Amino acid sequence: MPIAAGAVGSMSPICADVLQVTALIVALALVYRPFGDYMAAVFASPKHLRVERWIYKAIGADPDAQMRWTAYLRGVLAFSAVSVLFLYLLQRVQNHLPGSLGFSAVSPAQAFNTAMSFVTNTNWQSYSGETTMGHVVQTGGLAVQNFVSAAVGIAVAIALVRGFARSRTGDLGNFWADLVRCVVRILLPGSFIAAIVLVACGAIQDFGTWHHLTTLAGDQQAMPVGGVASQEAIKEFGTNGGGYFNANSAHPFENPNAFTNFFEIFLILVIPFSLTRTFGTMVGSVKQGYAILAAMGIIWLIFVIFMSWSEFAHPGAALHAAGGAMEGKEQRFGVGSSSLFATSTTLTSTGAVNSFHSSFSAFGGGIALLGIMLGEIAPGGTGSGLYGMLIMAIIAVFIAGLMVGHTPEYLDKKIGSREIKFAASYILITPALVLIFTAIAMALPTPIHSAANPGPHGFSEVLYAYTSAANNNGSAFAGLNANTDWFNTTIGICMALGRFLPMVFVLALAGSLAEQQPVPATAGTLRTEKPLFAGLLVGTVLIVTALTFFPALALGPLAEGLS
Amino acid sequence: MNNSVRNTARLTWAALRALLVLTVVTGVIYPLAVWAVAQTAFHNQANGDQVTVNGKVVGSSLLGQNFNLPLRKGQTTPAPDPKWFQPRPSVAGSGGYDPTASGASNLGPTNPKLAQTIEQRRAQVAVFNGVSLSAVPVDAVTASGSGLDPDISPQYAQIQVDRVAKARHLPVAEVDKLVQEHTNGREFGILGEPTVNVLKLNIALQKLAG
Amino acid sequence: MTTGESETKTSSETKTPVENEENETSKDAMSTTTPVRAPEDTTADAPGAPAEHGRVGGGVFDPKQLWKSLPDACRKLDPRVMAKSPVMFVVEIGSVLTTVMAIAKPGDWFGWAITAWLWLTVVFANLAEAVAEGRGKAQADTLRKAKTNTVARRLTSDVEEQVPGTELRIGDLVVCEAGDTIPGDGDVVEGVASVDESAITGESAPVIRESGGDRCAVTGGTKVLSDRIVIKITTKPGETFIDRMINLVEGAARQKTPNEIALNILLASLTIVFLLAVVTLQPFAIYAKAEQSMIVLIALLVCLIPTTIGALLSAIGIAGMDRLVQRNVLAMSGRAVEAAGDVSTLLLDKTGTITYGNRQAAEFLPVHGITAAEVADAAQLSSLADETPEGRSVVVLAKEKFGLRERHEGELAHAEWVPFTAQTRMSGVDIEEDGIARKVRKGATGSVVAWVKEHGGSVPEDVQRLTDEISQAGGTPLLVAVEDVHGARVLGVIHLKDVVKHGMRERFDELRRMGIKTVMITGDNPLTAAAIAEEAGVDDFLAEATPEDKMALIKREQAGGKLVAMTGDGTNDAPALAQADVGVAMNTGTSAAKEAGNMVDLDSNPTKLIEIVEIGKQLLITRGALTTFSIANDVAKYFAIIPAMFAVAYPGLNKLNIMALHSPQSAILSAIIFNALIIIALVPLALRGVQYRPMSADKMLRRNLAIYGVGGLIAPFIGIKLIDMIITLIPGIG
């Protein structure tokens, strides 16, 4: 839908990029309040829709029964375990399924990896979509997990928010109700609208078989098919990121033009950012939500600026030879829109790509990597971003709270040794997974053979793979051939531990907070809704992450970028 | 013990039922609903924006394709056909622009192999179009992300005008005009980069040449 | 000090202000006499004074203490002791490993240098703790002297027998006479005696202990100076107050406080993160063809883990308790000190804390037809025989306002003095001047009215109005009457006012800024209470307070999630003291009160509660500030060590060497030396506590973040560079 043809070259790419970022911020700001409040209302509403009642009946669950954190956790784990098993089996019997497009069953290691990947909202892909997965697995398996894994993340975040909002109770809500409501009232309507917009702009929705045609120059070309638009919508909206095709959102059928690109970035960011409003509304102080939003927004903007700066400057021998950082980028997006997408996808748990991070400048790739290392909290994945940032807020409150001479409190809840135990365990998990798995892979002789690039970049590929897996991002320095038994298995384990262990601690924390009686704020209490605290939170996030990963980053992107 | 086993079984059964119900809702009803709307309201887009010439589908306006000469004996890679506007380099499949193998090179920014490839492409494009090395724009020497990029930059189209006009014995001005007509600015003036759709331009070119 | 009034007042809601005044008077009389030492002492160091000597100060740090504590510090190298602090334990293990490696490669000066500095790091950390403990030890020694094995004279069915003090059991009765050391904690059940408690309080003036009431508690180790008392033992040997005190000041009974535990968890998890970052670095380094020696990796690890706070954490805790001890406050647990920092409601007894505890004449109000000077003259005359503080204040006011010279009792001939008694509640004089007989009386309204009527006089209507006005303003009216040739009549009214201590309003404003609500507890009627509350600037008051009321107030505040602090001394304060989060018992109080509270103020100065809160806050701030400092330090250390490790493999990384350190070895060594020296440099701060001024949380955070956060980022860059410049001067390194 190209328009404004007369504007060719009338504006510098950097200027256009600034305007694009501004437009994105405005768009997100416009929906922030209504959408955030709507989500809060969804989870607070005592009423059930008729369709939801049918679903509860089918599940056999009482949606009004309150769950303690252990019950909530059991629900999360049981549902996820069943999902992994189901998705694994679906891939393993693909050759017997209708609409398989002639593809064979997926190998055990790859099926395990893919099942883990989609259930954990990671959507790491060691397969190539167009030659591996048929209609049923894509639409009935992978896309379903795009919905429910996002919903599980949001449900856990809402449970934590309830932990702050409630007192003298262990009840955190009902997992089944939160899951179903999130799918039915938030993800489905949003995705439906988004899918129609995408299809109108050129994303395909075709359940036929591949078209074979003769090109203008007389070659043979095969044209892929699939329920791409419907899957693309939830892939971005649920911060999943698993591409229908290997090229992911760089593929013209997934992301046909610069507007859909803008729209997809919007979809990626809208739930994570708006959830801070939901949080503020539910804890009874929208200002608290603004502080979290501000911290997320500041980090996001800093990363966008650094990423764009690095990509426009295109340091590095190869990029210098080319005269620009366009390797692995699409002409219709250019450097600006690609940088914006890359930042947004790595700062959320999305991992969709519209350009290939491995060919980004060393610092650009490093920023993508660092974005994931932050734990995807700015704004992070659906739900996981909010709970990740709240955990960081607890750490920040603890240190800062001591500095004002008070036992630290956050949202009127005391941050004592129990809370710190859970929060500290949470922040320990992903760095531990990343570093341990990367170290083992580097210490073994064979895994590094998967790397397509020599030197520090080769190391970055392995580091990126485990960082992406442990933080449930799913994007890659795709030079790495991850379809080996080693990578399929270890990355699969890494994704599962990186998803569910943190959830255990989040829910335990939620339970602990909900049991407390609130401590009224006084002038001696740290004001967590103030800009000072938002700034402190940004500092805490950046310093804690930088300190953890500085040595690894020095040997990867820094060594490459400073050479 | 027995109790916990029973509880786990009951929970698993509930989880399985939940998954199956949600699979029906999000994996069957939802995509089919989108499909129904898409096929009715946006039939062309939903099926890949297929482009026909003389009633025959020659491709999708969204997927790039090769415009090469037939492979001659002894050649491993086919040579570009000077009569067509050429797309960006593609690493999708062995010959490029293979939709069954979309993807990028993933070579790093300091990879000597990439630097070398880029230098080779620059030299090749410059010679092929009869322009100086410095006139070759960045999109002409870098492979796209999808390997199916349907577009080139207006600059890349511009340096091909003379060569195409010459090969087709067409006035340069007419070819140039064609390029201008097929140049699209940024979406809404600010999104993305200006593009020229190679397939559409070449179809128009073919029409012009008769 | 509320006890006396509370006990008499539980069933007296309908009492008139005058009767209340009476209670107050008798109570005041008691409170001013209870501590034998001069009352000026308490008032002098109470409100205004601390502001002068710079808020919460601390003991002076003497560098000699470092040297003296060195043997203790080395003794603490025992791994079983070290294991309590996970951070320093990791350093110790690292030191052992580098030692082994240095021995394996004896020619490598770098290995030896790193090893030496790692051991120094551990020793410095132990030194910090040892110094903190050492300060308490001196105090403990003094206490021990008091606790010499005394011989008790036990009474068994009225027969006296000599037994060692350690064999006394709860319920035993012992006799103490002048010169005896009291063998154990107990209550006086018979007799009255003056007791020297200097062994505990450091205060040489003796105090009175007597059976019954709130002054019956005696402490083992104190000395009877006069008279004979019988004491009922209330604690087991080994658990006496003095034993507990010794344990507390020595830190032997120190348990980690909740915040300290939480902080330790955070530090442990940071240590694990850094441990992982360093352990996993080797495979990465090997891939980069820059394999690192074990010594360098251990050096990096020690630099990264939060050693600064890890080393000083327990010293900070001990020093916090110590700061209280120096103010003669004994906290029974560190938890109580920490809770003090969190207090959001302070219950303050009016008398002795907010007001001087005695009413003073403020004004002479004449009835119609009389001048103020006449009232003053009569009032002065009638008060000469009144030795109560109120009586004295009337004389003082008359002199100040009307220049009436104080007349002495001997000065007036034919004067018959009527002294003030609690029964008559009047004082006065019957004189004959120039043959004219005059009887002057001053006293409680009811008494004087009765006296006037008795003498055939009448009370003018405006007397009622005047007394009402005074009552409404929170004051107490005293009537002045005369009987002379014109008959008996009321001349006027003296306005007695409770005088609020100087500087209290400012103090309460500060507390409010800190987010602490002050509630004044008083036995006064609501009118009087409201007036004083208004004048003192407290946020709220509880009038006509009974122990039950107090308890209910505490529970109500706690139900709202607030932490409550209070002081108390009476037995009937005990439940409230136990219920409060911070209950400070006065040392003059009963043993029940001391048992119930979690702190004891040896000076029995209720105003100290405010200081206790400040010390609690300071303790937390010091921990937070040093944690921030410690973590912020890591940034600079990375910039020193990472280029040193990898610039050989990737020369580009030399750009990270922004401090331009001399060589890889000097860079790593400088970082390690800085890491060790900063511990010693911060010992005084840890012991003294960071400077604390009452201000809002936001302001305080901004200030501390700027000093310890930003400072912590910058300081090591400068420090490491300086150390690098110095050590490169050493031949063989430079």
pLDDT (tens digit per residue) in C206-236: 778 888 777 788 888 888 888 888 888 888 8
- Ranking A292-306, A440-454, C9-23, C180-194 by mean pLDDT, the lowest is C9-23
| Residue ranges per structural domain of chain B | 2-43, 50-209
Residue C42 pLDDT greater than 60, yes or no: no
Q: Which residue is it, tokens 């098919």? A: A225
Cβ <8 Å between A215 and B18: no
Please report, rounded to a whole number, the percentage of residues in chain A having pLDDT higher than 90: 93
Cβ contact A427:C269 at 8 Å? yes
What is the pLDDT averaged over residues A394-417?
A: 91
Residue C1 pLDDT greater than 60, yes or no: no
Domain limits for position A518: 382-562
Under the banding of pLDDT at 50, 70 and 90, the label for residue C36 is very low
Task: Determine, yes or no, domain membership for A416.
Answer: yes
Residue A176 pLDDT greater than 60, yes or no: yes
Structure confidence at residue C368 (pLDDT)? 86
Annotated active-site residue C468? The verdict is no
Measured distance CA(B105)–CA(A327) in Å, rounded: 8
Under the banding of pLDDT at 50, 70 and 90, the label for residue B21 is very high
Task: Determine, yes or no, domain membership for A544.
Answer: yes
**Greater model confidence, B79 or C586:** B79
Cα A55 from chain centre: 27
Residue C61 pLDDT greater than 90, yes or no: no
Q: Which residues pair with C480 in a beta bridge?
A: C442, C492
Neighboring chain C residues of A395 at a CB cutoff of 8 Å: 266
- Ranking C16-20, C638-642, C719-723 by mean pLDDT, the lowest is C16-20
Q: A376 is written with which tokens?
A: 């995807």
Structure confidence at residue A314 (pLDDT)? 95
Task: Give the residue from chain A lying closest to B13, CA to CA.
Answer: A59
Cβ <8 Å between B18 and A365: no
User: Which of B15, B104, B110 shows the shortest C-beta gap to A79?
Assistant: B15
Structure confidence at residue C58 (pLDDT)? 47
Q: Which residue is it, tokens 């319920």? A: C171
Structure confidence at residue A264 (pLDDT)? 98
Structure confidence at residue C203 (pLDDT)? 66
Cβ <8 Å between A180 and B144: no
Structure confidence at residue C355 (pLDDT)? 80
Mean pLDDT of chain C: 82
Structure confidence at residue C32 (pLDDT)? 33
Structure confidence at residue C500 (pLDDT)? 82
Cβ <8 Å between A332 and B195: yes
Residue C421 pLDDT greater than 90, yes or no: no
Residue B94 pLDDT greater than 50, yes or no: yes
* Chain B: partners with 3+ C-beta pairs within 8 Å: A
Structure confidence at residue C255 (pLDDT)? 75
* Chain A: partners with 3+ C-beta pairs within 8 Å: B, C
- Ranking A10-19, A126-135, A520-529, C44-53 by mean pLDDT, the lowest is C44-53
Cβ <8 Å between C288 and A459: yes
Q: Who's near B175: CB < 8 A, 6+ residues apart?
A: B161, B164, B165, B168, B205, B208
**Greater model confidence, A355 or C590:** A355
- Ranking A324-338, A549-563, C139-153 by mean pLDDT, the lowest is C139-153
Rounded to the nearest angstrom, the minimum Cα separation between A341 and chain B is: 11
Task: Give the residue from chain C lying closest to A440, CA to CA.
Answer: C283
Residues C20-32 have pLDDT tens digits of 433 433 333 333 3
Residues A131-161 have pLDDT tens digits of 999 999 999 999 999 999 999 999 999 999 9
Task: Determine, yes or no, domain membership for A466.
Answer: yes
Q: What predicted TM-score, i.e. pTM, was given to this entire model?
A: 0.88
Structure confidence at residue C556 (pLDDT)? 92
Structure confidence at residue C698 (pLDDT)? 86
Rounded to the nearest angstrom, the minimum Cα separation between C477 and chain A is: 40
Cβ contact A363:A561 at 8 Å? yes
What is the pLDDT averaged over residues A320-342?
A: 97
Neighboring chain C residues of A558 at a CB cutoff of 8 Å: 652-653, 656
3-class secondary-structure state, position B152: strand
Rounded to the nearest angstrom, the minimum Cα separation between A90 and chain B is: 12
Number of residues that make up chain A: 563
What is the pLDDT averaged over residues C324-332?
A: 83
Structure confidence at residue C409 (pLDDT)? 59
Rounded to the nearest angstrom, the minimum Cα separation between A40 and chain B is: 22
Structure confidence at residue C60 (pLDDT)? 54
Cβ <8 Å between B18 and A61: yes
C-alpha angle C374/C376/C378, rounded to 5°? 70
- Ranking A454-468, A469-483, C248-262 by mean pLDDT, the lowest is C248-262
Cα torsion B75, B78, B80, B82: sign: positive
Structure confidence at residue C455 (pLDDT)? 87
Cα C362 from chain centre: 33
Structure confidence at residue C148 (pLDDT)? 61
Task: Determine, yes or no, domain membership for A509.
Answer: yes
Whether omega for the bond prior to residue A379 falls within 30 degrees of 0, making it cis, is yes
Residue B125, Cβ density class (10 Å: 0-12 exposed, 13-18 middle, ≥19 buried): buried
Cβ contact B14:A60 at 8 Å? yes
Interface probe for B, chosen from A183, A244, A311, A327 (most Cβ of B below 10 Å), is A327
Residues C116-127 have pLDDT tens digits of 999 999 999 999
Task: Give the residue from chain A lying closest to C274, CA to CA.
Answer: A548
Cβ <8 Å between A524 and C516: yes
Cβ <8 Å between A216 and B199: yes
Strand ranges, E, within C242-375:
329-331, 345-349, 355-366
Catalytic residue chosen out of the listed positions C243, C349, C569, C573: C349
3-class secondary-structure state, position A505: helix
Q: Which residue is it, tokens 């793979």? A: A465
What is the pLDDT averaged over residues B131-136?
A: 96
Q: How many independent structural domains does chain A possess?
A: 1
Rounded to the nearest angstrom, the minimum Cα separation between C313 and chain A is: 13
| Count of CB pairs separated by less than 8 Å, A with B | 415
Structure confidence at residue C8 (pLDDT)? 36
Question: Does B touch C (3+ CB pairs < 8 Å)?
Answer: no
